[in-house]
Amino acid sequence: MTNFSIYPAIDMRGGKCVRLLQGDYDKETVYGDSPVDMAAQFAGEGAKWIHMVDLDGAKAAKRVNNEFVLEVKKKLGVNVQIGGGIRSEEDVAYYLENGIDRVILGSAAISNPEFVKKMLRQYGEKIAIGIDARDGYVATEGWLETSTVKATELGKELAEAGAETFIFTDISTDGMLSGPNIEGIVSMAKATGKSVIASGGVSKLEDLKALQAYEKDGVVGAIVGKALYTNQFTVSQALEEVTS
């Protein structure tokens, strides 16, 4: 029995479901008027987790679309993980105290590492570390900046600080339907010795199988966005692929 999970992605901007091409805010496609309705559709197809990103929050460095996140949890009862615009202890507590299952800290891992380490000490496995990489280096601030920190080095440091789950995104593959950067994802899993959820590039069911092949190395799931919105396959087909 596999523990490999599928995480349908809901990226929120202006209260709508959107996808950005490689994180570019000028290359946006709107796929739905209601994040809650979209989540209900995914949950109806069997999704146990919903991956939500507050794109407005990531840009504004504060919570913006948070009410939709809480509504999804309250109405649907699925597991929810949220990233985007979470910069303070108050933000983390807000989501966790309202029943959200996992809070993703990304840019803060570079801009405020002590805060991230404190949250890991305080909340343990309820904190996931989102590492977005461009050419092996960490990208921050909604992918608008690229740092001088190697993705695997940051992963190792935060694993030592108590992180159990990492979400690794290769920006060059995100939204491109070009296939995931399996080498980069597996490198992160091996470097950290922890669980890694793959993000970016999944375009066909075979990509999920290819990722699942590294489950023993720590690749525990895949976030799927554009492939679902452009009808490459459905959530139920994805779940069937990784459980068959």
> Which residues are known catalytic residues?
11, 132
Whether the CB-CB separation of 120 and 163 falls below 8 Å is answered with: yes
Radius of gyration in angstroms for the set of CA atoms belonging to the chain, rounded to a whole number: 16
Give the span between the Cα atoms of 152 and 142, in whole angstroms. Answer: 19
Whether the CB-CB separation of 84 and 54 falls below 8 Å is answered with: yes
Whether the CB-CB separation of 103 and 73 falls below 8 Å is answered with: no
Give the span between the Cα atoms of 91 and 145, in whole angstroms. Answer: 22
Listed residue (5, 88, 102) closest to 52, CA to CA: 102
